Structure 1
Amino acid sequence: MSLFYPTLLLCLYGFFSNLRPLEPFLTAYLMGPDKNLTETEVVNEIYPVWTYSYLVLLFPVFLATDYLRYKPVLLLQATSLVVTYVMLWKAQGLLAMQLLEFVFGLATASDVAYYSYIYSVVEPVHYKKVTGYCRSVTLFGSAAGSLMGQLLLSVAEAQLLNLVIITMSSAIVAFVAPWFLPMPQKSLFFHTSTEAAEDRSPSLLEEAEDSKSKVPLKGQVSSEAGGRRRGLLEVLRLLFKDSIQCYKCRPLLAWSLWWALATCGYYQIVNYAQVLWENIRPSSDYEIYNGYVETASTLLGALAALLVGCLPVSWTVWGELALCVFSLLMAVCVFVMDLVKDIWVCYCSYILFRSIYMLLITVATYEIAASLNMQRYALVFGVNTFVALLLQTVITVVVVDSAGLGLDVIKQFLIYGGYFAAISVIFLLAGLWTLISRRRSEQEVLAQDGAETGSDSPASDTR
């Protein structure tokens, strides 16, 4: 029961908080008669606020989540989602929508509480199982919400305002679940326990197989303060020390680099895809099928993630070159979306783009987590997300924001396509360097073995 009860509540919360029928049609709603905002206001002045707020709030919320032991931040996220959709229903004007994006940025930054809570209330042996449940149910909720929104528009001929009300109602239902969650007694950093410190003992952990990975990532984490409550400065010092040690591992650094670079570009594509679709097929003149596209891309992405384990690929050897090839394919998808002015080609390219990303991010998650214990797992993933948001903020300020270049969405997507092409080049060079280094090491070993064999052989007979 101790495992079933919190997992059930988290799954209910994850499903209803992600059941958002309006989400595939948000741009059409903002630019439609209900809000009457222009494309320039939506793209260059409203959507960038989410990026800025997410970046600014991520680290404080991360610390607050651990200090307050998860549940209060889950309640904060649930409240933020309700406030977001109430404002989307009732508020009017540019400033109100910018405030709405800030509140939604707070909700997004609070995701760390959802994915961290379960690790504080169940035994480590169940981590993989309950993580799978929670991630699957959020994807299913997102897909179900997109499909529901499309069916309501296409079949029931509902208005976009009705989708706002349904999305708000789903957020209100989700708001109830966190109140019944048990309050954790420990956390990863501020509220440690003696048992947690013992679980991180080197004697209980496997050694890394790859010689390049022999940084003790699964070894004992800095835990001088184990078994007591730590102060903020001590936690910050330990976080910095552990992060430096983690990123000394070259394979982990490579996967983390791709994580940050690709996630930055992924956010930009997903955030502004609806605006591109509006340019190609305006919702005021035609029926749109954004909901079907989001549903298909989410489900295919989830399927691709599930099939990762079946791929006969040695990611340790070929990982960087695989990242090069797939990043190039993502760049092609973005260029096709932008340059081929056909909505169906654009939809298909978007679905393929998201599926590739979700496959690779699953591989990256596994490859990183395989080298880490749970404390460093949360730390590295948090740092990777922060770097991705920092890069996204730079791109948003320069390319999107009206204070920068303020480019229209067509030119933006050309830049995003070039961005993924640049990622491909980076990992092509990294992959070639890895293969050359590996081949050189093998030759040195063979030469050394040959020399030892020659020295051990008996001298030839002379007569």
Structure 2
Amino acid sequence: MSVLYPTLLLCAYGFFSNLRPSEPFLTAYLMGPDQNLTESQIVSEIYPVWTYSYLALLFPVFLATDYLCYKPVLVLQAISFVVTYVMLLKTQGLLAMQLVEFFFGLATASEVAYYSYIYSVVEPEHYQRVTGYCRSVALFGSAAGSLIGQLLLSVAKAQLLHLVIVTLASAAVAFVAPWFLPMPQRSLFFHKSSATAEKTQQSSRTPLMVKAEDLESKVPLSSCDDSAITRSSEADSQSSGLVEVMQMLFADFLECYKCRPLLAWSVWWALATCGYFQVVNYAQPLWENIRPSKEYEIYNGYVETLSTLLGALAALLVGYLPINWALWGELVLCVLSLLMAVCVFVMDTLRQIWLCYASYVLFRAMYMLLITVATYQIAASLSTQRYALVFGVNTFMALLLQSLLTFVVVDSAGLGLDVFTQFLIYGGYFAVISTVFLIAGLFRLASRRRCKQDVMADSRAEAESGSPPISDTSSSR
């Protein structure tokens, strides 16, 4: 019962907070008669606010989540969703929509509380199962919301304004759930108990998933050093201060990123997530240019539903792929990153809506497959205590790169390029990622080949020289 109650509440919250029928049609709504904004305002002045606010709020919210023991930040996220859709429904104008994007950025940054709360109230043996439930329900809520929005628009002939009302109602239902969650008495960094320290020490000694082929990537981090364990234990039953927590995070950061395979997967995570956010954020303006919603019926909801479900299926199939990721990981990242670049180029250059939709679906599916592999490869190398740190740093770097790319390419303060030129740049960006990992993969294979040749040469030399006689050795002494 102690596991079931918070899990059910979290799943209910995750489902309704992600049930957003208006999301696939946001650009059409903002350009429609209810808001009457121009495409240039939406792309160059409104959407970038989400990127900047997400980046600025991510680290403070991450610390506040742990310090406040998760639940208050979940409540803050629920409030942010409600405020976002109330403002989207009731206010108008450029400044109001920029505030909408800020509150949505706050809600997105607070997502860390949703995925980390459960670890503070259930035992470690339930982590994997409960995490699967929460992520699956959130994904299903997102797909259901997109499908409902499309059906309301195409079948029921509802107006875009009605989709915002349904989304607000869903956010209001989700708002109730966090208030009834039990308040955790411990957290990962600021508020520790002796049991927490003991679990951290145990989990740091045992990798999450061990395969013989991955030993190379696990050796540096399969066990915490003595100083890390001491840091975890010395704060038993006490509250750590901000300075101590920052010092511990920095020391763990240096320790984690010494591992070359983890660093490689983290680099791909940051680079690809940056490009993925840009493509997903600005796909709707691209579709709007190819097939204007004022003149034609649009099918964004079906596309988002299909891409989410296909991405989830691809993520589920990862565990069944017979690939030696330690050996071939960089080359797989190279090939699929190149295919993602091709999908973006197709969306940009052919300008046929159905090809555009199909490319978008394949793009998202490939990203979800690879980000699942990256998550597994990184998590399998870490202790439980370090998950949030590494995933948070990777996301922060992705947002930092995205903010830079947004400012230069999208923002009216920068170049303010049109959406087709933007997607041409995004396609080139993924081609560069592919090239980087092609070089890394070839270097990895060459290094392995040299290593095998050296081992074989040493073996031949030992066989030819033979062992010295025992009598000679004893006489020399």
Task: State whether TM-score is above 0.5.
Answer: yes
SS in 1 for 2:381: coil
Alignment-derived partner of residue 409 in structure 2: 399
SS in 1 for 2:237: coil
Residue type of the alignment partner of 2:146? S
Residue type of the alignment partner of 1:417? G
2:441 paired with 1:436: no
Shift in alpha-carbon separation, 1:203–1:159, aligned structure 2, 3 A: closer
Equivalent of 2:215 in 210, 213, 221: 210
Structure 1: 4+ residue segments shifted above 3 A: 206-209
Aligned partners of 2:203, 2:39: CA distance in 1, in Å?
A: 59
Alignment-derived partner of residue 267 in structure 2: 257
SS in 2 for 1:330: helix
Deviation digits for residues 5-58 of structure 1 (CA, Å, limit 9, x no counterpart): 000000000000000000000000000110000000000000000000000000
2:229 paired with 1:219: no
Aligned residue runs from structure 1 range 205-354, under 5 A: 205-206=205-206, 210-211=215-216, 213-219=218-224, 221=228, 222-223=231-232, 224-354=234-364
Residue type of the alignment partner of 2:415? L
Residue type of the alignment partner of 1:76? L
Equivalent of 1:386 in 396, 408, 426: 396
Post-superposition shift, 1:212? 5.5
Contact residue 218 and residue 371 of structure 1 kept, 8 A: no
Residue type of the alignment partner of 2:37? L
Post-superposition shift, 1:341? 1.4
Shift in alpha-carbon separation, 1:347–1:322, aligned structure 2, 3 A: same
2:43 paired with 1:43: yes
Aligned partners of 1:191, 1:204: CA distance in 2, in Å?
A: 19
Contact residue 146 and residue 304 of structure 2 kept, 8 A: yes
Post-superposition shift, 1:198? 1.6
SS in 2 for 1:5: helix
Aligned partners of 1:50, 1:396: CA distance in 2, in Å?
A: 11
Aligned partners of 2:217, 2:313: CA distance in 1, in Å?
A: 32
Aligned partners of 2:20, 2:216: CA distance in 1, in Å?
A: 46
Post-superposition shift, 1:203? 9.0
Q: C-alpha root-mean-square deviation of aligned residues, in Å? A: 1.4
Contact residue 399 and residue 406 of structure 1 kept, 8 A: yes
SS in 1 for 2:369: helix
Alignment-derived partner of residue 473 in structure 2: none
Residue type of the alignment partner of 1:32? G
Aligned partners of 1:133, 1:183: CA distance in 2, in Å?
A: 20
Aligned partners of 1:31, 1:230: CA distance in 2, in Å?
A: 49
Residue type of the alignment partner of 2:4? F
2:96 paired with 1:101: no
Shift in alpha-carbon separation, 1:230–1:345, aligned structure 2, 3 A: same
Post-superposition shift, 1:216? 3.3
Post-superposition shift, 1:197? 1.5
- For these two proteins, the number of residue pairs brought into alignment is 459
Deviation digits for residues 302-338 of structure 1 (CA, Å, limit 9, x no counterpart): 0000000111111111000000000000000000000
Equivalent of 1:426 in 427, 430, 436: 436
TM-score normalized by structure 2?
0.94
Aligned residue runs from structure 1 range 350-365, under 5 A: 350-365=360-375
Contact residue 197 and residue 227 of structure 1 kept, 8 A: no
Residue type of the alignment partner of 1:210? L
Aligned partners of 1:294, 1:20: CA distance in 2, in Å?
A: 11
Deviation digits for residues 148-184 of structure 1 (CA, Å, limit 9, x no counterpart): 0000000000000000000000000000000000000
Aligned residue runs from structure 1 range 50-65, under 5 A: 50-65=50-65
Post-superposition shift, 1:443? 1.2
Aligned partners of 2:116, 2:221: CA distance in 1, in Å?
A: 23
Alignment-derived partner of residue 472 in structure 2: none
Contact residue 206 and residue 383 of structure 2 kept, 8 A: no
Equivalent of 1:452 in 456, 462, 469: 462
Deviates further, 446-455 or 415-424: 446-455
Aligned partners of 1:141, 1:357: CA distance in 2, in Å?
A: 19
Listed as ranges, the gaps of 5+ residues in structure 1 are: none
Aligned partners of 1:266, 1:127: CA distance in 2, in Å?
A: 28
Aligned partners of 1:299, 1:235: CA distance in 2, in Å?
A: 39
Aligned partners of 2:252, 2:236: CA distance in 1, in Å?
A: 15
Alignment-derived partner of residue 115 in structure 1: 115
Contact residue 323 and residue 427 of structure 1 kept, 8 A: yes
Aligned partners of 2:19, 2:43: CA distance in 1, in Å?
A: 24
2:388 paired with 1:375: no
Post-superposition shift, 1:374? 1.4
SS in 1 for 2:49: helix
Aligned partners of 1:204, 1:215: CA distance in 2, in Å?
A: 12
Contact residue 31 and residue 38 of structure 1 kept, 8 A: yes
SS in 2 for 1:313: coil
Contact residue 217 and residue 246 of structure 1 kept, 8 A: no
Aligned partners of 1:23, 1:200: CA distance in 2, in Å?
A: 39
TM-score normalized by structure 1?
0.97
Alignment-derived partner of residue 8 in structure 2: 8
Deviation digits for residues 189-228 of structure 1 (CA, Å, limit 9, x no counterpart): 0011212222233697237863464223542534232431
Contact residue 330 and residue 437 of structure 2 kept, 8 A: yes
